[in-house]
Structure 1
Amino acid sequence: MARPDLVPTLRELCIRVVSDTFEKRPTFVGLQAEDIKSITERLPLDLPLELAGDVIDDERYWWRRSTRRWRNSEVGAHGNSWKQLYFERNLQDALEQFDPEMSDLDQLRRLLSYSARFVRFLEITQLPSHLDLAHIFDCLDVSLCGLSLTYGMRDVGMDFERGLFGMRLPDCRSLARCLESCEALTCLSLSNNTLDDDGVRMLMSGMVDNLSVTHLDLSCNKIADRGVRALAKVLDSRCTITSLDLSDNVIHQEGGRALARALKQAPALTRLNLALNQIGDEGIRAISHVLQDAWGLTHLSLSANSGSNECVGELAALMQTNTVLRILDVSCNELGPASGPIILDALAQNEGLTKLDVRLCGLETEDMLRVEQALRQRQDAEITERVMGR
């Protein structure tokens, strides 16, 4: 701690002057790293964003600026960069609070254009303005790698209206046009948007020519068989989607069969989540039958799909023949106690499967324990092999 009775050094005086007048003369040219650090520690946290973004790279400055503005900040979700976190959350707030009647669209586009250098992922939890997404993609097209978009509304209280929630058809059309030409976007999440078949069909019209999206999350919507058929047409040999989440929708048997046909010609797809749907025995059998020959998926979830003991035969055949599949979840299907020995026999013939979830399937307790023991031994052996390999 500096003593008040001591005269500050010339270096200390210079640091004070530079930090106090930084907004007028924003430069670190000719300064040593130690001096730059001392100056940034004294800089105010309300400097104009464009000025700070151009000149200041010190992570501690952006950490102070971020934690003062937002109480909870997880830097790991923003490339482990506090500067990236600040720009992404600042842009998120601007988009979520944008009101076309009260806000300036030109000012928003200026912020979008300037932030493009620092923004890689956007998570938008509400968009009451239903802004044309072309404004976002036109400015962030070459930098935006991930987009999580939910048309919700926070803190509505007693003013709740169902029409305030969900993605409308014009929103789907706007996003579809953007997807036709975007080249950087790899992760797209549209979870919890009350998307129906018409909305998905509109979205897929833009996905047909898209070769950048690898992770697509359409969970927690209202997608049924017609929407899945439109999606299945996109899953061809040119498709780049590796992870597809369709959990918690209203997909029935026909949708399951459409996905089964698509799996024959979608070699890029490695993860498929169909949990909490209603594809039933027929849908489960169709998918299981195709995967006996189409060895692309490594992760498959068919949990809670109204399956019964009638689909156990195809599931067992899948487990016996597909050595690429690593994780299989068939929990919460009424497979019945007679399915236990069948599943155990199939598991013994396929050493590639390292996780099999058969909870709440009606298996005998002894069979459940034997399944868990077999999988635990495989996991322990895999860990040992990995350690020894080092």
Structure 2
Amino acid sequence: MNAPFIVPPLKDLCVTVVAGNFEENPTFGPLPDKYVKKVVEILPIDLPLELAGTAIIDEEYWKRRCLSRWKNMEAAPHAGSWKQLYFEKNLEDAMEQYDAALNNMDDLKRLMTYSRKFIQTVRLRQLPSHMDLTDMFECMINSPSALAVHYSLKNVGMEYDRSLFGMKLADCRTLAKCLEKSETLTYLDLSNNGLDDDKVRMLASGLVENLSITHLNLSHNKVADRGVRALAKLLDSKSVITMLELQDNQIHVEGAKSLARAFKSNQALVSVNLRLNRMGDEGCKVVCDALKSNNSLERFNLGSNSAGAETVSALVPLIRLSQSLIELDLSCNSFGPKGCEQIRKAVEQNTTLQIMDIRQCGAELDEESAISENLRARQEKRDRAKIVGRA
């Protein structure tokens, strides 16, 4: 005998009908929230993007849609929003894979224009097309707030061609023009792009007119003294740049002197990374001397710059008197036991420093331990004070 057919509740039938016809009639009408959620749970994840983006805000739907397309994704780096993650990753994929011979630029522009409502960050891990980024800035008015572009080619294998990697002068010229007009971009990452002095000078011509970028990352390039001289002009008393990353470049003494002149009048910088350059003892000393008058710097990295005794003579008063420094990395320099002892004594007189790295600088083991112990005891004291304050 066949089992009796049980008619589903009318409410469940309504939910199924609404979900089945959602593409033709994308509305939840007056449905209560709990039924809206049930509809969303059974909606197909291949709905047209413009329809889904406008009609669906439920994060579980966007999580399903993300994880069906990309593996091992997390929403945390995207403001905790799966919807933002989907739109950002979708646009990034479209731009990274764009080929003028195969794709229609108008379609990409339409995607940019629609996606701008849901996007904060664009991170391009490759851009073999070297497309004109003017199109992105014009389509995505007031967005993005963060841009990272790496001109390279993923999974190139045995077909490696050096010319496929790095920004060209023409790329720098068009981006500079975009930066002149941008009012919402706050973070710019152009690391690992083979930028030399001429390319950086071209970028600086646009950055000098920009009043929105606060975090500039030009690390792992080929920036030398002429390029740094152009960048130093951006760091005047009107500068809004708070974080500057120039690690792993080719900055020598003259470049260090250009930075030092800028640091004397700049009160906006909060973090500066000059690690892995070639400033030498003279260049490092000049920079540290200039920072004595700076009251805003909280994080400073001078590691691996061949700094020596002359730098120590400038570092000691900087550390002793600074009321802003919180983190200081001096690792992999040549201070020797005597220089490290002087630095240790200066740290003992400092009241703000929390983190310091002096490894591979010639310090005796007890000197390194004394610095670490001093900073640890200071942190424990701050932690106890916070607990007492909350109580």
2:144 aligned residue: 144
Contact preservation (8 Å) 1:187, 1:216: yes
1:238 aligned residue: 238
Question: CA deviation digits over 1:172-207, x for unaligned, max 9?
Answer: 111100000111110111111111111110001001
2:11 aligned residue: 11
1:250 aligned residue: 250
Q: Where do 1:1-390 residues align within 5 Å?
A: 5-390=5-390
Q: Secondary structure at the match of 1:198?
A: helix
Residue 4 of structure 1 deviates from its aligned partner by: 8.3
Question: CA deviation digits over 1:305-360, x for unaligned, max 9?
Answer: 01122321111111112221111111000111111321122112112111221001
Distance 2:359 2:93 in 1: 42
Q: Secondary structure at the match of 2:220?
A: coil
Distance 1:389 1:137 in 2: 47
Displaced runs of 4+ in structure 1, greater than 3 A? none
Please report the TM-score for the alignment, with normalisation by the length of structure 1: 0.98
Aligned length: 388
Question: CA deviation digits over 1:224-274, x for unaligned, max 9?
Answer: 011000000011111110000000111111111111110112211110000
Comparing 34-43 and 138-147, the one that deviates more: 138-147
Gaps of 5+ in 2: none
Distance 1:161 1:4 in 2: 69
Question: CA deviation digits over 1:15-61, x for unaligned, max 9?
Answer: 11111111111111211101110101110010000010110111000
Contact preservation (8 Å) 1:141, 1:183: no
- Tell me the amino acid that sits aligned with residue 169 of structure 2: L
Residue 389 of structure 1 deviates from its aligned partner by: 2.2
Contact preservation (8 Å) 1:331, 1:359: yes
Q: Secondary structure at the match of 2:151?
A: strand
Residue 209 of structure 1 deviates from its aligned partner by: 1.2
Residue 386 of structure 1 deviates from its aligned partner by: 2.3
Comparing 318-327 and 204-213, the one that deviates more: 318-327
Residue 5 of structure 1 deviates from its aligned partner by: 4.2
Contact preservation (8 Å) 2:18, 2:28: no
Contact preservation (8 Å) 2:341, 2:363: no
Distance 1:388 1:106 in 2: 61
Gaps of 5+ in 1: none
Contact preservation (8 Å) 2:340, 2:361: no
The two structures, once aligned, show a CA RMSD in angstroms of 1.2
Identity percentage of aligned residues = 49
